[in-house]
Chains A and B, each alone.
Chain A
Amino acid sequence: MSHSTHPAKEPKGHEAGPIASSTLPIHLRAATLDDVPALVPLVLRLKSLNEEFDPLLKVRKDAEKMAAEVLTRDIKDPEAIVLATEGVGADKDRIVGVVRARIRERPFYAPEREGVILDIYLLPLYRRHGVGEYLLEEVTKAVKAKGAGVLTAEFPIQNHIAASFYNKRGFRPTMGLYSRPL
């Protein structure tokens, strides 16, 4: 994955926030091991949100350590992708977004290889500027390069904003994950 800069969509007038001056020259790159400490809080924010949807998504006490472990593993793993988004202005050297995806084999279905988005998170001030869409485009390219013929996304079923994000971009629900505590 090469470095790239994306002139994200011009924000709408009524949504103009503190950083919405013109376009967002967002810088997206493959994460390195040095990025892990900065990525962990973003992943934890996402997991804390998920916790609100269902008691079975309660965040573990050691989640911070686990996030670091998982990110470290996936940054090294050729069957995974971790992209980091750098901010603009005062946030220039700060990581403000992350997307993590893994390649899964599909033994019974074609296409055989699936890219699955496991974490995608952007700090609030960077939303509504088309940055999420850019993250999705880049992760799509990356999993395709690894031979994936289908892209999926996992998120809590009650997260209607996520559902709407993917619905608008050509995704449809295909599999369900039903849970009960034991």
Chain B
Amino acid sequence: MVQATTPTAESPPRPRAETVPPPEDEEARTGALGERALALARFYQGKIETVPKVPVRSLTDFSLWYTPGIAHVSRAIEKDPDLSFELTGRWNAIAIVTDGSRVLGLGDVGPAAAMPVMEGKALLFRYLGGVNAIPVPIAIDTEDEFIETVVRLSPAFGGINLEDIASPKCFRILGELQRRLPIPVWHDDQLGTAAATIAGLLNALTLTGRDIRTTRTVLLGAGAANIATARLLIALGQDAHLLTIVDQKGILFAERDDVDSLSLRNTWKYHLALTTDGGGRRGTLAQALRGADVVLAASRPDPTTISPAAVRSMAPKPIVFALANPVPEIWPDQARAAGAAIVATGRSDFPNQVNNSLVFPGVFRGVLDARARSIPDEIVIAAARELATHAQDRGLTPEHILPTMEEVGIFPHIAAATAETAVRLGIARTRRTREEFYAHALEVIQHSVHLATRLLEDGLTLPMPDEPPGGTRGTR
């Protein structure tokens, strides 16, 4: 996914595949990757491990790292619990918590089966953000049990990353934990995806000369990501009366038949039904898209979900984000042929990949470095703006509205923007300048990459058994 380069090294955007890969090739490729992942999982038996970060020369050192010396450290934290962020690894540790109820596209596979995915996420956190992320899949029956469990785990961590939890329960779980815990709580499927979407959208609006306050926007799909995106859009000035949310039942409006049911089962979607009231529209996706400036689709992997005719019915120079994975709601070349000025997808083999991995490593680096007490929407928006700015710095074009995952240099920048926002909002436990935050984030991330590289070079991390020595390590 990411080359083993230092975070400052940035490769230019690579040439893009413009043709649609035949679906059978995609399936074959995914199948081959799956087989290989299974073989490697059997070989490595886990993707992360704990490693000491203090010198251990002999057992006598343990009188400092452990009893009796360590009792002094415990007493200090007892007097001032916030010292746990200074005197232990809490400042850089997060839990990746899941109930395994919505893992990737697999559905409710349960906590044990979620573990390999959480380990992979931990690896991304570590490699891209220098964060010590501990996978914690938990066996849980109810939302309240989930919330209670995470609350009880929280003293060990400087942040909580909720992962792969089904909608709509993810909303209440995130909201309750954010309310109850004195550390940042993040749900990547909502906030990470929404931040990346917003970043791309801000640049797309700039490129097509639009003002978000007068933009008519359609959100196709009302799952975790789009519900969060809707909230952030409104916070950014989107007129709720020009925002139309469409789901399987068509346009969501206040008097739709299922709205009473939503009031009981999905408060967040219910609230959006009331505030947007269909953006003044009624009917189907076709009615929603007529004359619309933007469509942000996060619905189902079917390339016929948005028809070329529907894109043609949009306002001139429309913006089309077709974010379903692995297959977008409309193929990019079809959308462009139908007049779309800017197209984004969730895939790396097309231009403009909206990818939550662009967001979470930097955001967590930032809130951890600021020792933030929470992670309000202002921080999510700051991260999105920073991501957008970074793409601007390299020149905005319809094919380049977002940085790519190769541009690992963005992560310390996002971290600095995030941490600075936390300080400005008065939710940071530490005060540093943006430059200091940047330097620290860069150092921590570089250390992490350096460690991974050295362990591999020294043979302490075993080379992949199915590759020749000195083979294709570190490349795609």
- A interface, CB within 8 angstroms of B: 15-18, 45-46, 48-49, 52, 123-125, 127-128, 159-161
Contacts and interface: CB of A to CB of B under 8 A. Distances in A.
Contact of B263 (A16, A124, A125): A124
Nearest to A52: B261
A12 to B, nearest CB: 12
A14 B277 CA distance: 15
Contact of B275 (A16, A49, A52): A16
Contact of B277 (A18, A45, A49, A127): A18
Contacts of B273: 124
A160 B263 CA distance: 10
A21 B256 CA distance: 22
4 nearest CB pairs, A to B: A49-B260, A124-B254, A125-B254, A17-B274
A59 B422 CA distance: 52
B259 interface: yes
Nearest to A49: B260
Contact of A161 (B263, B271, B274): B263
B257 interface: yes
Nearest to A158: B264
A160 B273 CA distance: 20
Interface string B235-250: 0000011000000000
Which of B254, B263, B264, B274: most chain A Cβ within 10 A?
A: B274
Which of B257, B261, B264: most chain A Cβ within 10 A?
A: B264
A115 B156 CA distance: 55
A59 to B, nearest CB: 12
Interface string B253-285: 011010111011000001101110100000000
Interface of B is mostly: helix
Contacts of B271: 15
Contact of A48 (B241, B257, B263): B257
Contact of A124 (B240, B241, B260, B264): B260
Contacts of A45: 257, 260
A18 B275 contact: yes
Contacts of B261: 49, 52
Contacts of B257: 45, 48
Contact of B255 (A15, A49, A123): A123
A17 B263 contact: no
B277 A125 contact: yes
Given A16-B275, A18-B277, A123 B264 contact: no
A17 B260 contact: no
A52 B266 CA distance: 14
A28 B241 CA distance: 28
A125 B274 contact: yes
A148 to B, nearest CB: 28
A45 B260 CA distance: 8
Which size class do B's interface residues fall under? 10 to 19
A46 to B, nearest CB: 8
Interface in B261-318: 261, 263-264, 270-271, 273-275, 277
Contact of B264 (A17, A127, A128, A161): A161
25 contacts: A16-B275, A17-B240, A17-B254, A17-B274, A17-B275, A17-B277, A18-B274, A45-B257, A45-B260, A46-B260, A48-B257, A52-B261, A52-B264, A123-B255, A124-B254, A124-B255, A124-B259, A124-B260, A124-B270, A124-B273, A125-B255, A127-B274, A128-B274, A160-B264, A161-B264
Interface string B186-221: 000000000000000000000000000000000000
A17 B253 CA distance: 12
A159 B274 CA distance: 20
B282 to A, nearest CB: 14
B230 to A, nearest CB: 14
A123 B241 CA distance: 18
Interface string B62-103: 000000000000000000000000000000000000000000
A79 to B, nearest CB: 29
A52 B259 CA distance: 12
A162 to B, nearest CB: 9
A159 B254 contact: no
A16 B241 CA distance: 12
Contacts of A48: 257, 260
A17 B257 CA distance: 19
Contacts of B263: 124, 127, 161
Given A124-B254, A125-B277, A18 B260 contact: no
B208 to A, nearest CB: 27
Contacts of A161: 263-264
Nearest to A126: B254
A46 B264 CA distance: 13
A102 B95 CA distance: 55
A159 B264 contact: yes
A17 B278 CA distance: 12
A161 B259 CA distance: 14
A123 B255 CA distance: 7
A127 B274 CA distance: 9
Which of B257, B260, B263, B277: most chain A Cβ within 10 A?
A: B260
A76 to B, nearest CB: 28
Contacts of B270: 124
Interface in B319-353: none
Nearest to B265: A52
B278 to A, nearest CB: 10
A123 B275 contact: no
Which of B240, B254, B270: most chain A Cβ within 10 A?
A: B254
A159 B241 CA distance: 30
B241 A18 contact: yes
A13 to B, nearest CB: 12
